Structure 1
């Protein structure tokens, strides 16, 4: 989207004269511009390379509102050019609030889990399904970008992972936000109930097992969640979702493994092909999540294949990931 097109959108929405300041982007291709107009604030989100990002964001925002949750209001849109002018929730992201005020860790974590339980109270929407096939396909990013393996060498791990996921404990599928972690939830204490959790970065939403977003929050690539907090939220979620803790632990191990493999691949790709080496520092934590998940008996074959194919994120291996990949 050109600067002229951006200004046309802002002028049409009455924000043409607003003060503008760039915001740090995330691990995607989206760009963000913070706008100030007196006491009012808004954010211009653009994804000109893939306008479907804006379309999906707007659609999922509606699904979340229908479920009594709190996505940003969309103030104006140019969906054909991949641009949205959205409400600015501010900077009180859960991760920062918890780090700065440890007493908030439990109430904010409880709130985050209550949001997921609310999603489980509604039928799954008509979105693509995150099934075993999809999970195994996405996990291949680890083979390609983290370990420089081709599809043939990844095949045994793919088969083992797909088989394990196909045996996941049954549960009604739900709306899955996919990147549900403490930097994508913003504290809005002035609101009542679940509206205190401002939700962002949900344009990649799918339909999935309810354990997926739970493991995204508890196995955060960017921060350590204390074991006692993890145990508390597993108990609360199991009770609220009508699952046994054993069933939930099985599902968390399965989807945590698939997610950790995908994230290792995404972070390696960002470092090698995206010029973002800062993500390499997060890999040891993600690998730790992977190892804990692989300790579950249901993942014995997957664990065998991972250990045979993927190197640990040693300092030498992380350094090697700073160089361009052979398969960009």
Structure 2
């Protein structure tokens, strides 16, 4: 189409001169990593401008397959690709006779769960989402493949997302991964996103974690502060570097820009300590060995950063532990009972937890990585000792009862842990600790373990219901029966009789 057909669009917020076809593929890569379900990207330009080249490169990035067959949907009008991240639908509207035909192609339905790339979008006139990103492509040289790309959108977010992607590329250009292919790896409930970057047969993991108070609701900020959740990537650098210095398997940091929230680290792979959804005992024993080795050391409250300054590891305070456990009352109890508890019951719950936590105040304290379970424990095939376990997702490390991490592992929220395996791992842990220190108090540890297990399970039950109901992630509800079984198992033990009585009264 000619430029005058874009008069209804806002002025471009970005215009790029791309010198060759390799640059076009690179640009498609930059956009692919920030694409989200629900997005519409309109590719506009004359015949031969490079719309299909760009769309094909973006689809191949999604697939992680540079040889993916991407036929033109000129005759079918739409081709949908099912990817693990989300579905991506490729439209070619050149043969669209009436704009209303777009409704028959089901664009609205496709956008509920996926994203759309649309060539010849002007054929649909005003039927496309107002939030679409329009990219005008103008070919300057057929011989070299030089093209001009103009980005148009006044929808909230697009300009920021595109800028973020280019900011990451600028960061990578200062590293050994300057020409890397980028692939979306993960995004969590916070502001963090992760990419795998690949260059010359090597791979690394890039994390982007800026913290902006205005991007986080006040209630969420208050909760983060209360339970001591980290706000920026300084915690990753501090905790990870200290772990590595002491011989534990945190990723090596290859480059960082703490002001922009960017960290490039070694890629520890994706194989965890479970196989086919089931725990692998050998790997869990290796993981419990890591905890025993960690708990045999004294860990600092203040960590000096190599770049200067320091990081303070927050205390896992009684208030924080109670606030987390209270998610059980706030979210899980109403979910299973159909009613919220009154203020007296809530106050009784908090008072009871304060009493129970006070009873284990003498338990060993140290670094608590906080999510020491299968998704964050990466199996390093061929390694030995503690090197067999790669550690990730430790940014929220606190200084508290070390039994918490033991319970995180032995009562893994993401896989079924039999009581036999739980007891086997606990026995291995206690044996290792007793061999390290003659004054290790088995009884004190057992009591702290029961309390921390009940606290963590209560918290996770609340979090999983919250993720399902508040955040629209119902898949987490599938884990509830497992966790409820763990809770029943723990409350049947003699260390927590008062907790057992309260839970028995207020749960169906």
TM-score (norm 1): 0.85
> In 2 relative to 1, CA 265–81 (structure 1 residues): closer, same or farther, beyond 3 Å?
farther
Q: 2:203 aligns with which of 27, 35, 41?
A: 41
Q: Secondary structure at the match of 1:202?
A: coil
> Corresponding residue for 1:86?
265
Instruction: Tell me if the contact between 1:144 and 1:150 (Cα under 8 Å) persists in the aligned partners.
Output: no
Q: Unmatched 5+ residue regions in structure 1?
A: 312-328
Instruction: Give the Å deviation of 1:86.
Output: 1.2
Q: 2:290 aligns with which of 115, 121, 138?
A: 115
- 1:106 pairs with 2:106: no
- 1:68 pairs with 2:243: no
> Corresponding residue for 1:137?
323
Instruction: Give the Å deviation of 1:281.
Output: 0.8
CA distance in 2, matches of 1:300, 1:232: 24
> Corresponding residue for 2:466?
269
> Corresponding residue for 2:446?
249
CA distance in 2, matches of 1:189, 1:122: 26
After superposition, what is the alpha-carbon deviation per residue over 1:114-142, rounded to whole angstroms, capped at 9, x for unaligned? 11011112113202222433211211122
- 1:173 pairs with 2:365: yes
After superposition, what is the alpha-carbon deviation per residue over 1:48-81, rounded to whole angstroms, capped at 9, x for unaligned? 3468331111110022113210100111112122
Q: 1:128 aligns with which of 304, 311, 314?
A: 314
> In 2 relative to 1, CA 57–310 (structure 1 residues): closer, same or farther, beyond 3 Å?
farther
- 1:296 pairs with 2:493: yes
Instruction: Tell me if the contact between 1:67 and 1:118 (Cα under 8 Å) persists in the aligned partners.
Output: no
Instruction: Give the Å deviation of 1:26.
Output: 4.6
> Corresponding residue for 2:475?
278
CA distance in 2, matches of 1:29, 1:290: 31
Q: What is the 5 A alignment of 1:91-240?
A: 91-96=270-275, 99=278, 105-126=280-301, 127-146=313-332, 147=334, 148-149=340-341, 153-168=345-360, 170-240=362-432
Instruction: Tell me if the contact between 1:35 and 1:41 (Cα under 8 Å) persists in the aligned partners.
Output: yes
Number of aligned pairs? Answer: 307
Instruction: Give the Å deviation of 1:157.
Output: 0.8
> In 2 relative to 1, CA 135–276 (structure 1 residues): closer, same or farther, beyond 3 Å?
same
Structure of greater relative contact order (alpha carbons < 8 Å, 6+ residues apart): 1
Instruction: Give the Å deviation of 1:228.
Output: 2.2
After superposition, what is the alpha-carbon deviation per residue over 1:215-269, rounded to whole angstroms, capped at 9, x for unaligned? 0001011101232221111111112223455443322210011101111121122
CA distance in 2, matches of 1:164, 1:281: 30
Instruction: Give the Å deviation of 1:150.
Output: 7.0
Alpha-carbon RMSD across the aligned residues, in angstroms, is 2.3
Instruction: Tell me if the contact between 2:365 and 2:400 (Cα under 8 Å) persists in the aligned partners.
Output: yes
Instruction: Tell me if the contact between 2:209 and 2:232 (Cα under 8 Å) persists in the aligned partners.
Output: yes
> In 2 relative to 1, CA 45–257 (structure 1 residues): closer, same or farther, beyond 3 Å?
same
Bigger mean CA offset, 28-37 vs 143-152: 143-152
CA distance in 2, matches of 1:70, 1:151: 45
Q: Unmatched 5+ residue regions in structure 2?
A: 1-160, 213-229, 302-312, 335-339, 435-439
Instruction: Tell me if the contact between 1:43 and 1:88 (Cα under 8 Å) persists in the aligned partners.
Output: yes
TM-score (norm 2): 0.56
Instruction: Give the Å deviation of 1:156.
Output: 0.6
Q: Which of the pair has more CA radius of gyration?
A: 2
Instruction: Tell me if the contact between 2:241 and 2:252 (Cα under 8 Å) persists in the aligned partners.
Output: no
CA distance in 2, matches of 1:16, 1:310: 56
> Corresponding residue for 2:146?
none
Instruction: Tell me if the contact between 2:244 and 2:252 (Cα under 8 Å) persists in the aligned partners.
Output: no
> In 2 relative to 1, CA 68–97 (structure 1 residues): closer, same or farther, beyond 3 Å?
farther
Bigger mean CA offset, 200-209 vs 241-250: 241-250
Q: Secondary structure at the match of 2:414?
A: coil
CA distance in 1, matches of 2:284, 2:182: 33
